Every structure is written in C-alpha cells, then in structure tokens.
Chain A
Amino acid sequence: MPSLTKRASILPLALGLGWAVVWATLLGPSRALGAENFIFYFPSRHEALPLRQIDQSGYLPLEKTLRLFGRPVNKRERQGRVSWRFNRRQLEVRAGQKRVRVGRKRVDLPFPVRHLDGEWWVPISFLTEVLGEIIPDAMEYHAGTRRIFIGEVEPNSFELRFDSLPGGARLTLQFLQQTSISAAEEEGNWILYLGGHPLQPPQPRFEFSNPIIKSLAFDDQDGRPKLILTPGPDQMTLRPLLAEGGMVLILDVARSDPARTAEGRTPRAPESIAPAPAASGGPVVGADSLPAVVLDPGHGGIDSGARGQNGLSEKDWTWRFTYQVRLALIATGKFRVVMTRNGDQLRSLDQRAITANTNRGAVFVSFHLGHTGAGQRTVAPYIYQPPFGTTTARSAGALSFVPWEEVQNSHLPESLRLAQYLRDELAAIEDIAIREPVSAPVRLLRSVDSPAAFIEVGDLSSLEDSGDLEDPEFILQLAQAVVRAIERFSY
C-alpha cells in the first residue's frame, strides 16, 4: 500500500512533466522565433522564421530560409564562405560580402552577408534578388514589410476610411477580396481575425488623434492575419458589420451606454459579424458617388525601373510614395482611390490605362523616379505630347470612334490644368527644384481617357540625393502637395 500511495503521488508529477515536455515540443519553435518574425505565405501553408536586426537592417537565417523552398545539399563551409547545391544551382555566399554567387552569375545584395553565432544571415532582399533566380515561383515582397507571398498567393488588402459620428467613430475597411471576420477581446483591445487569408495592409499601423479610436494595427506574426483595434481611454462598445458580401467591414465604436456598463468594451459575438445586405447603407470607401482618382505607381514586378547609386529602385519608391498619396486622399473623404497595381506586380502600360478608363471621369496621376541630372531634389510634371499632325479635338457626333492611341488627345487642356496645379502645390515645398509642366511623348498617358499627369521625381544620379528621396518627411510633403493639387482640380 505504501508503494501505491507513492505511485499515486508520483503520477500527477509525471503527467505534469510529460505535459510540459509536449508543450515545450509544440511551442519550442515558435518561442525560438524571437521578437520579430518574417512570414512566408505559400499557396497551401505559411511559415515563420526569426528576423534579426543587424546594423538596422532585417536579416534572415540563410539555411532555414533555403529549407522552406527546397533541399540544399552538399554544404561546404570553409574560410568565411559557405556553399550549397540548391535546385540544381550552386549557391555561395561569403561573410562580410555583398556579392552572392548563383551558378555562374553574381548578384549584389544591398547589405553584406553575416556569419553570427554559427549561423549564416542574409538581408531580406536575398529572397527576391537571389532566390527569385533559383526557384520557379513568382514572389511578391514589399520593401519594409515582414512577409512575402510566394507563387499563386494573392494577398488581400484594404482601403481605410475614418468618420466621426456623434458620440463615436466609424472605421470603414474596403477589402480587395471577400473576407470573413471573427472577433475577440484581449487586454482591452479588439482583435479581428481575417479568416486566415494572407493580407498585405496599406501600412502596418494607423494612428488616430481621436478620443474614440486610438489605433488600428495589422499583425500576422503568428501567421494568423488580424487587425488589432485599440479604443480610447473611455469605456467603449464595438459594433462590427460585414457588408457588401464580405467586401466591406464597418466598425462602429461608441462610448458605452452607462446603463449597459456591464457589457463594457466587449465586442459583439463573432456570429454577429454576419454578412449584411448590400443595401444596409453606411458610408463605404469606394462609393460610386465620389470622384475617382487613379494612382499609378510606376513599374513593378520584374520591371524595377531606374535604380539609384545606393540601390534604391524606382518601383519600390513609387509604391511607397503612391501609398502615401492614396492614404492622404482617402483621409479627405472626398475621393474614391484606385491603384493600377496591387503591390509588386508587373502591369503593362495599356493595362494601367485600362484601369484608368474603367473608372470613368477619374483623375489619373502616374509617379516615377528618374535621373534628372539636376544633382538635387527635383520634381517635373509632364503631360502627353501627341504625335505631330494628330487631332486633339473629339468629334461631337453621336457615334465617334476614337483610336486607342489617341484617347488622351481630347483631354490635353484639362491635363495641363492638372499639371499646373501639381506644379503650384509642389513648388511650395522647400529645397526642391520644380520644373514647369512640359508636353512629352509619355507612352503610358496616350490611352488614358481622363485628365492625366506624369510626375518624375529626381535626382537618382546623385548618391546623396538618392538617400534624400527616401526621407519620410520629404515623401509626406510631396504626397500632401499632390493631394492638395487633386483637391483643387476636382472641387
């Protein structure tokens, strides 16, 4: 009996230990991930790897990264270098070197490869610059983010609008793809899980200078895309409503009714976020009543555009800048904003014009970065210059067919007015050279059936200036000037 008693006392201890071992096994890898993770979205799975900050740049563990995409073999490590046979290509990196050897090709990374704590670390751009050469799948990565989409994965995204309501506020999220939502409350925040589908937010966090809603942040560090809504200091109630067949999420936040304090900040149960009929009303981002603005971030995908001496690529800069313009336009509540590309995608010039023309009456602005040769920050607005001898007037007849390559011609006076407003507003920014609007043979603009302007920012030729062009304050000033010009033009 004594032995039985002893066994009975050991049993819970053994079970507890076993349970701890199981938990350690299950949670071990995620705990090892560290404070910041980088998420890889594959078509049927997602993976997370620890992201290490070295000299203010994000680095990924090389071998673990390769194992996500295949089986690196024949590892050879000697004298500050390591090589593998991977996907029938020889891959070699050297500690402290930016140059990576892929078969017979050499690729330069923006930052050197590191060998720390027995592990090889590569900058994030290794994924697109080097792995993109080796694996057959397309990749979509937005500079500065902590996620990459591989193969057929098409990430969802959204546009956000903020409205003040009596005693509360409303956030309206217009998604690009159908979404399902479930909600939960954690530590005074509302967590909105976005159905597990990969999502690329326009920006990681939106801050509101408002007593009702403090912020809306996106997080997918555990591979579950979710929005975290942080209310103001008072007791608040959230009323979420999924409308337009899962395309629009309306989040009404209001100060709690004192009589119902017990309900407090508890959001409604997830099942209450049922799809609402489309006619349920409420302001919707993208409502057809608002004038449309089509923003075109130049280049994208394999077309990087121009490249600065410090590695700055035109496609990344135009994407970041255009997103600033888009957010500032949405914040005015006066426009419906359409982008010609969603992330790092290749779009032909005609596809961009088609996007503009399917939003009739829109204002079209295309943004580019170039070698202006000025050696200082320069902005030059352009409009379309038609070939000599083509007609610029559209016939007033009931049936008038306009050749695709002459569509822009009849809009040139309005395009010039738009370009002049852009010039005036941009000229207010200090320390930049602004050029007068000029007609140039911009191929992109010829088939845009609305007032259209083309902005070229520079100067990429100068190393110092390339750095300046990424200055967030400069980008914000430019974006605000563009928004003021579009407001002046449209209202």
Chain B
Amino acid sequence: MSLGMKILGLGLMAVALASVLYLRALVRQLSEVPYLPTAEARVQLKESILGSAPGEPQTISLFFPVPGEGMLRREERTLTLVSAAPDRVRQILMALREGSREGMEGAIPAETQIRAVYLAPDGIVYVDFDQTLERAVSPGIRSETLTIYAIVNTLAVNLPSIQQVRILLEGREAETLAGHADLSRAYTPDPSWVEPTLPNPDR
C-alpha cells in the first residue's frame, strides 16, 4: 500500500471517529431535558426589562420558602416594571423564578418556562407554566403548597388588581401540582403562609 493510500485511510478513520463522537454528543444533547440554570433565568429577566417600555423603578415584594420551615418569607427587590399588565405578571414571576438573594429556598424552579399569562376581567389571572414546574417541584403537600402561595401572594401583593390566581400546566387545568396540592381551583392570597414576624401581604 502506498504512503498516499495510508494517509487517506488514516484520514478517513479520523473522520469516521469524529462523526461517531459528534453523533453521540448530539444524541445525548437531544435526549437530555433542557436545563435552564438560575443565571439563564436572570438573563431572561433582564432581556424582558430591556425589551419593554421603560418605567420608574419600583420596590416589589417576592415570597420564598424559608429553608426547613413550612412558611414563606418576604424579600424586597427593585424592578423597573413595564406598563402592560400581562407583561408585568410575567416580569414579576421571572423575578420570583430568579430565586432568593437572602438564602431562601427557590419558589419556582429556575428551569420552569412561563408559557402564557391571561388576565380575566373578574380579577383572576391565569398563569400557564410548562410541565417542568410539576417535574421539578419536590412532591409533598408542604413544598407544593409553598410553591403555589409564593406565586399567588407575590402576584396579589404587587398587582392589586389581581384577586385570584389560577395555575395551569401546559395549557391545561391540572388536578394537582405534583400529586398533592389542588390545582383545580383559583387561589386567593393567604397571609397565614407568611412568617408572622414579618409584614404579611395585604389583601
């Protein structure tokens, strides 16, 4: 076999090997659930602010589960809210999804996508999350209830026109969040889930 043929053979083998490795990586990438870390959630929040009409910076209240406790704690954040109400809901939920800056547990898993927000004239807001919310929340009545009331209390405290919150999963009314907490109802904010030593959400 000539030297040229040998080089060609080696080259072809290298190409074949590279193709196998690339295909393997591609299959792995496609089979894995897309992961959106907290940093990415933060980027999305900033993009939503930059892409909207500028307004005045406001102090908003977010509610996060206290580690090891069955309660929520209020945490304040300065945010430039946009004018359109559904976009405001989305923006506040993104801030909640970004996570606590004071060491609290996450309220909404960082990889959760907010698919849609609908505002009904009777003061009910419908928030449609993707299936990640169900998959990523720890199953259990405590963790599911805290996730629900973190969302409900946060929206109601910052947007007084909101009376009730209805959580949808993948565009549908689900029976429960992750097997325990009822999702077949609209939720009214409940201050009893907030630490009593700190200011409660107004209703």
B188: chain A residues at CB < 8 Å are 387-389
A385: chain B residues at CB < 8 Å are 190
Contact A440–B179 (Cβ < 8 Å): no
Q: Mark B52-67, 1 if CB is under 8 A from A, else 0.
A: 0000000000000101
Selected interface stretch from B74-82, B83-91, B108-116, B138-146:
B138-146
Decide if B182 is an interface residue (CB 8 Å cutoff).
Answer: yes
B167 CB → nearest A CB, Å:
11
Once the chains are docked, how many angstroms separate the CA of A371 from the CA of B105? 12
Once the chains are docked, how many angstroms separate the CA of A267 from the CA of B31? 64
Once the chains are docked, how many angstroms separate the CA of A385 from the CA of B186? 13
Decide if B46 is an interface residue (CB 8 Å cutoff).
Answer: no
Q: Mark A362-397, 1 if CB is under 8 A from B, else 0.
A: 000000111111110000101001011100000000
Which listed residue (A372, A375, A380, A446) contacts B182, Cβ 8 A?
Answer: A446
Once the chains are docked, how many angstroms separate the CA of A380 from the CA of B69? 11
Contact B141–A456 (Cβ < 8 Å): yes
A384 CB → nearest B CB, Å:
9
Q: Mark A80-109, 1 if CB is under 8 A from B, else 0.
A: 000000000000000000000000100000
Decide if B45 is an interface residue (CB 8 Å cutoff).
Answer: no
Once the chains are docked, how many angstroms separate the CA of A389 from the CA of B164? 12
Decide if B19 is an interface residue (CB 8 Å cutoff).
Answer: no
- Tell me whether A303 and B181 are in contact in the complex, defined as CB-CB below 8 angstroms, given that A370-B141, A373-B68 are known contacts: no
Contact A380–B70 (Cβ < 8 Å): yes
Which listed residue (B69, B105, B140, B182) contacts A306, Cβ 8 A?
Answer: B140
Which listed residue (A305, A435, A460) contacts B179, Cβ 8 A?
Answer: A305
Decide if A349 is an interface residue (CB 8 Å cutoff).
Answer: yes
Q: Mark A405-418, 1 if CB is under 8 A from B, else 0.
A: 10000000000000
Decide if A50 is an interface residue (CB 8 Å cutoff).
Answer: no
Which chain A residue shows the least CB distance to B140? A370
Which listed residue (B138, B139, B141, B183) contacts A454, Cβ 8 A?
Answer: B141
Number of B residues whose C-beta is below 8 Å from A?
Answer: 30
Decide if A438 is an interface residue (CB 8 Å cutoff).
Answer: yes
Which chain B residue shows the least CB distance to A456? B141
A183 CB → nearest B CB, Å:
45
Decide if A266 is an interface residue (CB 8 Å cutoff).
Answer: no
Contact B67–A441 (Cβ < 8 Å): no
Decide if B202 is an interface residue (CB 8 Å cutoff).
Answer: no
Which listed residue (A299, A380, A388) contacts B142, Cβ 8 A?
Answer: A380
Once the chains are docked, how many angstroms separate the CA of A438 from the CA of B69? 13
- Tell me whether A387 and B140 are in contact in the complex, defined as CB-CB below 8 angstroms, given that A373-B68, A375-B68, A441-B145 are known contacts: no
Number of A residues whose C-beta is below 8 Å from B?
Answer: 36
In chain B between 151 and 177, which residues have their CB closer than 8 angstroms to a CB of chain A?
Answer: 164, 175-176
Decide if A314 is an interface residue (CB 8 Å cutoff).
Answer: yes
Once the chains are docked, how many angstroms separate the CA of A299 from the CA of B37? 30
Decide if A24 is an interface residue (CB 8 Å cutoff).
Answer: no
Contact A438–B68 (Cβ < 8 Å): no
A430 CB → nearest B CB, Å:
19
B141: chain A residues at CB < 8 Å are 368, 370, 382, 440, 442, 454, 456
Once the chains are docked, how many angstroms separate the CA of A389 from the CA of B188? 9
Contact B180–A443 (Cβ < 8 Å): yes
B181: chain A residues at CB < 8 Å are 440-443
In chain A between 188 and 218, which residues have their CB closer than 8 angstroms to a CB of chain B?
Answer: none
Contact B184–A368 (Cβ < 8 Å): no
- Tell me whether A442 and B182 are in contact in the complex, defined as CB-CB below 8 angstroms, given that A373-B67, A374-B68, A435-B70 are known contacts: yes
Contact A440–B68 (Cβ < 8 Å): no
Once the chains are docked, how many angstroms separate the CA of A405 from the CA of B186? 14
Once the chains are docked, how many angstroms separate the CA of A456 from the CA of B139? 11
A216 CB → nearest B CB, Å:
37
- Tell me whether A306 and B138 are in contact in the complex, defined as CB-CB below 8 angstroms, given that A349-B175, A370-B143, A373-B143 are known contacts: yes
Decide if A461 is an interface residue (CB 8 Å cutoff).
Answer: yes
Contact B180–A442 (Cβ < 8 Å): yes
Decide if B148 is an interface residue (CB 8 Å cutoff).
Answer: yes
Contact A456–B140 (Cβ < 8 Å): yes
Which chain B residue shows the least CB distance to A376? B68
What are 5 sample pairs from A and B whose C-beta atoms fall under 8 A apart?
A299-B179, A303-B179, A369-B140, A387-B186, A441-B148
7 nearest interchain CB pairs?
A370-B140, A388-B188, A371-B138, A443-B182, A441-B182, A306-B139, A374-B68
B residues neighboring A (CB under 8 Å) = 31, 65, 67-70, 105, 138-143, 145, 148, 164, 175-176, 179-188, 190, 192
18 further A-B contacts with Cβ under 8 Å, apart from A388-B164, A443-B183, A454-B141, are: A303-B179, A306-B138, A314-B139, A368-B141, A372-B68, A373-B142, A380-B70, A380-B142, A382-B141, A388-B187, A440-B142, A441-B148, A441-B182, A441-B187, A442-B182, A443-B175, A456-B140, A458-B140
A residues neighboring B (CB under 8 Å) = 104, 299, 303, 305-306, 314, 349, 368-375, 380, 382, 385, 387-389, 405, 435, 438-444, 446, 454, 456, 458, 460-461
